[in-house]
Amino acid sequence: MGIYKDLEYEFIERSLALIRQYEGIYPQFDFKEQYNYTLLINCLLGLIVMPKEKIITYVPTTQLTKEVKSEIGLTESWINKDIKTLRDLIIKLRHSVAHFDIRVESHNERELIDEIIFKDKQNNTSYDIVKFKSNELLPFIYYYSNCLLQNMGKNRQKNT
């Protein structure tokens, strides 16, 4: 792969490509060697932290209505009631990911990951931002990243 011509845009594209590539090969590994959630959390550094620092204006301000949450794929996940827009969620997630204030929970005997919980601190008090059901984190990442790329692409067209 060559040099980046548009670092922010291409980094997001390449992170998504990395996830898709892993989705295609992880079943060939023994279950104990499948690190899909580790990969997703790693990719959040490039998909959540970097955009917050460089391109926050392209993060959609879509209201997180019940319909939008369903469109995103968040039908069972919980989002803190104080978070009203997708941009608000991304900003809060940025803090959680950057400070590695993340917890995973299992609610089954096999100790599989059921929830990925992102936390933040305010006035030295930790609180939950979002509790993703494990099967809803990937659809969220795809939805958010594709919205971000679309907004960046529209801006690029305006400036050419």
For residue 159, the model assigns a pLDDT of 57
Query: What confidence tens digit (pLDDT) does each residue in 120-158 have?
Result: 988 778 899 999 999 999 999 999 999 999 998 887 666
For residue 1, the model assigns a pLDDT of 64
Distance from the first to the final alpha carbon of the chain: 25
Query: Helix count (H) and strand count (E) of the chain?
Result: 6, 4
pLDDT band at 31 (very low <50, low <70, confident <90, very high): confident
> Which residues are 122's β-sheet partners?
125
Query: What confidence tens digit (pLDDT) does each residue in 41-62 have?
Result: 888 888 888 766 778 888 889 9
- Radius of gyration (C-alpha) of the chain in whole angstroms: 16
Q: Please provide the DSSP assignment of 74-127 as one string.
A: -SS-EE-TT--BHHHHHHHHHHHHHTT-EEEE--STT----EEEEEEEETTEEE
Mean pLDDT on 79-92: 94
